[in-house]
Structure 1
Amino acid sequence: MTRQDIILILDGGHPTVGYTVSTGLNVLIGLSAVAIALETVPGLPDWAGSLLWKFEVFILSVFILEYALKVICSPKPLKYIFSFWGIIDLLSCAPALALLNPHWQAVRTLRLMRILRMLKPFHSSRILFRLRDALHLVKGELYVFGILSGVMLYISSVGIYLFEHDAQPDVFTSIPESFWWAIASFTTVGYGDMVPITTGGRFFTAIVLFIGLGIVAVPSAIITTALLETQTNLRPLRDEEKNKTEPDDQHGRDQ
Structure 2
Amino acid sequence: MQIRARIHDVLEGDDPRLGRPYVIFNNAMIVLAVLAYAIATMPDLPARLRDALRLAEALVIMAFAADYLLRLASAPRPLGYAFGFWGIIDLIAWAPALLLGGTDLSSARVLRLIQLARILKLMRLARAFDILLGALRDVRDQLLVFVIFTLIMLFLAAVGIYQFEHPAQPELFKSVPHAMWWAVATLSTVGYGDIYPVTAGGKVFTGLVLLVGLAVIAVPTGLISAALVQKTTEETNKETQHEKT
Question: Which one has more relative contact order, counting CA pairs under 8 Å at least 6 apart?
Answer: 2
1:44 and 1:237 mapped to 2: Cα distance?
Answer: 57
* Range that drifts further, 228-237 or 112-121: 112-121
| 1:202-229 residue CA offsets vs partner (Å, 9 max, x unmatched) | 2221221122122111110111001111
Q: Compared with structure 1, are the counterparts of its residues 17 and 194 closer, same or farther at alpha carbon in structure 2 (3 Å cutoff)? A: same
The residue that corresponds to 2:146 in the other structure is: 145
Q: How many residues are treated as equivalent by the alignment?
A: 241
Does the 8 Å contact 1:95/1:109 carry over to 2? no
| 1:217-247 residue CA offsets vs partner (Å, 9 max, x unmatched) | 1110111001111112222211111223xxx
The residue that corresponds to 1:47 in the other structure is: 48
Q: Compared with structure 1, are the counterparts of its residues 68 and 159 closer, same or farther at alpha carbon in structure 2 (3 Å cutoff)? A: closer
2:156 and 2:83 mapped to 1: Cα distance?
Answer: 43
The residue that corresponds to 1:178 in the other structure is: 179
Structure-2-length-normalised TM-score:
0.87
1:183 and 1:8 mapped to 2: Cα distance?
Answer: 45
The residue that corresponds to 2:119 in the other structure is: 121
Q: Does 1:101 align with 2:101?
A: yes
The residue that corresponds to 1:224 in the other structure is: 225
The residue that corresponds to 2:67 in the other structure is: 66
Does the 8 Å contact 1:94/1:107 carry over to 2? no
Structure-1-length-normalised TM-score:
0.84
| 1:35-87 residue CA offsets vs partner (Å, 9 max, x unmatched) | 11111112222222211111000111222222333344556545544443333
2:186 and 2:117 mapped to 1: Cα distance?
Answer: 33
Does the 8 Å contact 2:37/2:106 carry over to 1? no
The residue that corresponds to 2:108 in the other structure is: 110
- Partner SS, residue 226 of structure 2: helix
In structure 2, runs of 5+ residues without a counterpart are none
Q: Compared with structure 1, are the counterparts of its residues 188 and 74 closer, same or farther at alpha carbon in structure 2 (3 Å cutoff)? A: closer
In structure 1, runs of 5+ residues without a counterpart are 245-255
1:2 and 1:139 mapped to 2: Cα distance?
Answer: 40
- One-letter code aligned to 1:24: F
Does the 8 Å contact 2:161/2:205 carry over to 1? yes
Q: Does 1:9 align with 2:10?
A: yes
2:200 and 2:181 mapped to 1: Cα distance?
Answer: 20
1:82 and 1:199 mapped to 2: Cα distance?
Answer: 54
The residue that corresponds to 2:238 in the other structure is: 237
Runs of 4+ in 1 over 6 A off after TM superposition: none
- Partner SS, residue 119 of structure 1: helix
